Amino acid sequence: QSALTQPASVSGSPGQSITISCTGTSSDVGAYNYVSWYQQHPGKAPKLMIYDVTNRPSGVSNRFSGSKSGNTASLTISGLQAEDEADYYCSSYTTSSTSVFGGGTKLTVL
Amino acid sequence: QITLKESGPTLVKPTQTLTLTCTFSGFSFNTRGVGVAWIRQPPGKALEWLAVIYWDDDKRYSPSLKSRLTITKDTSKNQVVLTMTNMNPVDTATYYCAHRTVTTPRQDYWGQGTLVTVSS
């Protein structure tokens, strides 16, 4: 299984919205509604932000939302804040009952 | 409150076998659907999913590393052990364990991670 494809970097100004894409195949992203997104600040463990494509864990801001179309999932962050600057990773369940991560996207808040 | 903590050597030599232990609290393998996964992250690089073990001892491995990995659990000790054989400098990474369930395969609680360096 190959890593999911994410843009290496995205940027936006405070208050703006950004979207990070995550492209897989029909054996992972396209196969199930089991895409999750993780936020990672430098030196910290990843934090779950979105699961099952669109669901937010308790405590995660509703500025974070997820969607999927075919083999591509997306994470949208609205009303960008300085604290959103971090690395973001998508992950998907696969038809082999394993998981796979994306290559990560560095979000810069200008 | 779910917590997980990784432990093991910080330095291993090439060709050696790495053994990491994940000790957790706040959940139990006596609960149907519970699982623990391992994920690693080389310095400055992306996350890589390694393996998972579930309450019923079902195990899944990353296809690219399957021949080198073994995951086991000790239900009475609330521990999961990951072994990786034939370590190489490219295996230098922070290794994380995480709580996972079979119903929605996400990693929802993570340990702090442990950095393992492979060097002679």
Residue B3's closest CA among B106, B83, B110, B96? B110
**B39 part of contact set with chain A, CB < 8 Å:** yes
**A31 part of contact set with chain B, CB < 8 Å:** no
Distance CA A57, CA B102 (A): 17
Q: What is the pLDDT along chain B (120 residues), one digit of tens a residue?
A: 999 999 999 999 999 999 999 999 999 999 999 999 999 999 999 999 999 999 999 999 999 999 999 999 999 999 999 999 999 999 999 999 999 988 888 999 999 999 999 999
Cβ–Cβ gap B49/A101 under 8 Å: yes
Residues of B in contact with A91 (CB under 8 A): 47, 49, 106-107
Give B13-77 as a DSSP string: -TTPPEEEEEEEES--TTSTTEEEEEEEE-TTS--EEEEEEETT--EEE-TTTGGGEEEEEEGGG
